[in-house]
């Protein structure tokens, strides 16, 4: 499927992707997490680009962040300081965890990009007060963008961006659904690349390519090999090899609770409400990140229902070393799964580099246990 190649390329050749986007006249605004106000950035005539760590060794970031900081935060800072993100015109930092909070400060203090904004989201998402607050910080972000760019963002602009992003979410959800129901039709590493590429490439291109891909899937024969079905849970999983290992062991990732996975594209923005209200509502409705609070059992309930919905045989936790919010939730999530007799295993990832051999063996053992 040639469309999928385009998504791999978009992420693998970041500078080229950025250069192409700039040719469309859009300024590029980077963001580090799935709570970014992408529609707002897009409606401002800019391009929202998700930042990942390129995984190059840490050199300059050593002077800013200690070794006990997660590799995602350190890696993004390294990419920035090393000039690998020089194509950026700015960044927006949504508030999530403590490490990201300090990255925002360090980035702003050492920053070289023209535009900078924090989106200081609430931590609790389940009160009327926080609903009003989310809306007010979105309005503030909109005003910041307008001032910086000397433009005004109309409701029509926002509605158009919301519609585009909803189309993307719908296509991705459709493709993911096929992927999940018929393991083998799309490889896990390809599905991950579709999501990652979409976060990076021009969104009009992404929407068109995803639409073509979705249409072409309908004509493909359905593979019928029985596999062990696995749900991935954790912060980010930017490790395509992991999907390969699962597949090589006779398994398939059929669903995820990841910040660069379903958490990002599940849940549409309502198109029949005032745009800022609708955007604020999605913040409260989507699957939450553990740095946010929407109840004491929200994340466990979500994970269990994900397992049920995808008829998964087990859960694989991928934990980034030094990631506090996920590490705090893990014992409870595991306990909930144990109580429901759902098997799980945890893999700790440091620096994106895996000890491939050992890693594959553990995955193999886990899949065979299911």
Question: Considering only 34-42, 96-104, 113-121, 250-258, which stretch makes contact with ligand SF4 by CB under 6 A?
Answer: 96-104
| The entry of ligand SF4, another protein, none that residue 235 binds, CB within 5 to 8 Å by partner kind | ligand SF4
Nearer to another protein, 22 or 293 (CB): 293
Q: In the numeric block, which tokens belong to residue 240?
A: 């395509």
Residue 133 in the binding site for another protein (CB under 8 A): yes
Residue 96 in the binding site for ligand SF4 (CB under 6 A): yes
Residue 97 in the binding site for another protein (CB under 8 A): yes
Q: Is 152 helix (H, G, I), strand (E, B) or coil?
A: coil
Of 179, 266, 289, residue with least CA distance to 229: 179
Residue 106 in the binding site for another protein (CB under 8 A): yes
Among 46, 254, 323, 367, binds ligand SF4 (CB under 6 A): 323
Residue 66 in the binding site for another protein (CB under 8 A): yes
Binders of another protein among residues 261 to 290 (CB under 8 A) are 290
Nearer to another protein, 52 or 322 (CB): 322
Residue 287 in the binding site for ligand SF4 (CB under 6 A): no
Q: Compute the C-alpha angle 198/199/203, nearest 5°.
A: 60
Q: Report how far residue 284's alpha carbon sits from residue 314's, in angstroms, rounded to the nearest whole number.
A: 28
Q: Report how far residue 177's alpha carbon sits from residue 255's, in angstroms, rounded to the nearest whole number.
A: 9
Helical residues (DSSP H) of the chain, grouped into ranges: 2-12, 14-23, 38-43, 71-81, 98-110, 128-149, 155-181, 188-200, 203-217, 240-248, 262-265, 275-285, 298-310, 324-339, 356-369
Nearer to another protein, 131 or 211 (CB): 131
Residue 340 in the binding site for another protein (CB under 8 A): no
Q: Report how far residue 57's alpha carbon sits from residue 45's, in angstroms, rounded to the nearest whole number.
A: 34
Residue 118 in the binding site for another protein (CB under 8 A): yes
Nearer to another protein, 1 or 327 (CB): 327
Q: Report how far residue 132's alpha carbon sits from residue 116's, in angstroms, rounded to the nearest whole number.
A: 23
Do the beta carbons of residue 208 and residue 294 sit within 8 Å?
A: no
Total binding residues for another protein by CB under 8 A?
51
Binders of another protein among residues 310 to 339 (CB under 8 A) are 319, 321-322, 324-325, 327-332, 334
Question: Considering only 16-24, 107-115, 159-167, 244-252, which stretch makes contact with another protein by CB under 8 A?
Answer: 107-115
Instruction: Give the residues across from 317 on adjacent strands.
Output: 233, 346
Question: Considering only 70-78, 163-171, 279-287, 337-345, which stretch makes contact with ligand SF4 by CB under 6 A?
Answer: 70-78
Residue 230, CA distances (Å) to 161, 298, 310, 316 in order: 34, 20, 9, 7
Residue 258 in the binding site for ligand SF4 (CB under 6 A): no
Burial zone of 209 (CB within 10 Å; 0-12 exposed, 13-18 middle, 19+ buried)? buried
Q: Rounded to the nearest 5°, which phi and psi values hold at 213?
A: -65, -45
Taking the complex as a whole, the smallest distance from the CB of residue 33 to ligand SF4 amounts, in Å, to: 7
Taking the complex as a whole, the smallest distance from the CB of residue 235 to another protein amounts, in Å, to: 13
Q: In the numeric block, which tokens belong to residue 202?
A: 């021009």
Q: Report how far residue 197's alpha carbon sits from residue 26's, in angstroms, rounded to the nearest whole number.
A: 18
User: What is the Rg, in whole angstroms, of the alpha carbon atoms belonging to the chain?
Assistant: 20
Residue 70 in the binding site for ligand SF4 (CB under 6 A): yes
Do the beta carbons of residue 226 and residue 200 sit within 8 Å?
A: no
Q: Using CB under 6 A as the criterion, what x/- string covers residues 140-179 for binding ligand SF4?
A: ----------------------------------------
Binding site for another protein (CB under 8 A): 63-66, 68-69, 95-99, 101-106, 108-110, 118, 120-124, 127, 129-130, 132-133, 136-137, 140, 290-291, 293, 296-297, 319, 321-322, 324-325, 327-332, 334
Binding site for ligand SF4 (CB under 6 A): 70, 72-73, 96-97, 99-100, 235, 291, 320, 323-326
């Amino acid at each position: 499927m040639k469309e999928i190649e385009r998504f791999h390329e978009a992420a693998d050749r970041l500078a080229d992707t950025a250069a192409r986007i700039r040719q469309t006249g859009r300024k590029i605004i980077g963001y580090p997490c799935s709570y970014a106000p992408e529609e707002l950035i897009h409606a401002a005539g800019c391009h929202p680009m998700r930042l990942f760590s390129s995984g190059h060794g840490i050199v300059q970031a050593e002077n800013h962040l200690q070794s006990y900081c997660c590799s995602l935060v350190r890696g993004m800072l390294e990419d920035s300081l090393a000039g690998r993100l020089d194509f950026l015109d700015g960044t927006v930092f949504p508030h999530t965890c403590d490490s990201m909070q300090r990255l925002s400060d360090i980035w702003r203090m050492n920053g070289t990009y023209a535009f900078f904004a924090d989106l200081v989201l609430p931590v609790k998402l389940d009160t009327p007060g926080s609903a009003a607050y989310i809306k007010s910080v979105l309005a503030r972000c909109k005003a910041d963008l307008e001032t910086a760019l000397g433009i005004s963002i109309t409701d029509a602009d926002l509605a158009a961006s919301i519609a585009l992003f909803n189309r993307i979410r719908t296509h991705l959800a459709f493709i993911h659904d096929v992927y999940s129901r018929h393991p083998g039709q799309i490889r896990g590493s390809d599905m991950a690349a579709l999501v990652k590429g979409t976060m990076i490439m021009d969104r009009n291109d992404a929407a068109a390519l995803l639409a073509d891909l979705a249409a072409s899937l309908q004509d493909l024969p359905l593979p019928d090999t029985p596999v062990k079905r696995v749900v991935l849970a954790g912060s980010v999983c930017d490790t395509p090899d992991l999907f390969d290992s699962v597949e090589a062991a006779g398994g398939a990732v059929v669903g995820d609770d990841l910040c660069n996975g379903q958490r990002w594209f599940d849940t549409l923005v309502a198109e029949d409400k005032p745009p800022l209200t609708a955007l604020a509502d999605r913040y409260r409705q989507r699957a939450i990140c553990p740095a946010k609070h929407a109840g004491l059992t929200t994340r466990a309930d979500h994970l269990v229902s994900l397992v049920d919905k995808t008829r998964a045989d087990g859960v694989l936790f991928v934990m980034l070393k030094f990631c506090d919010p996920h590490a705090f939730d893990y014992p409870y999530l595991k306990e909930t799964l144990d109580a429901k007799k759902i098997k799980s295993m945890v893999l700790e990832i440091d620096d994106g580099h895996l000890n491939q051999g050992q890693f594959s063996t553990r995955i193999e053992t886990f899949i065979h246990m299911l």
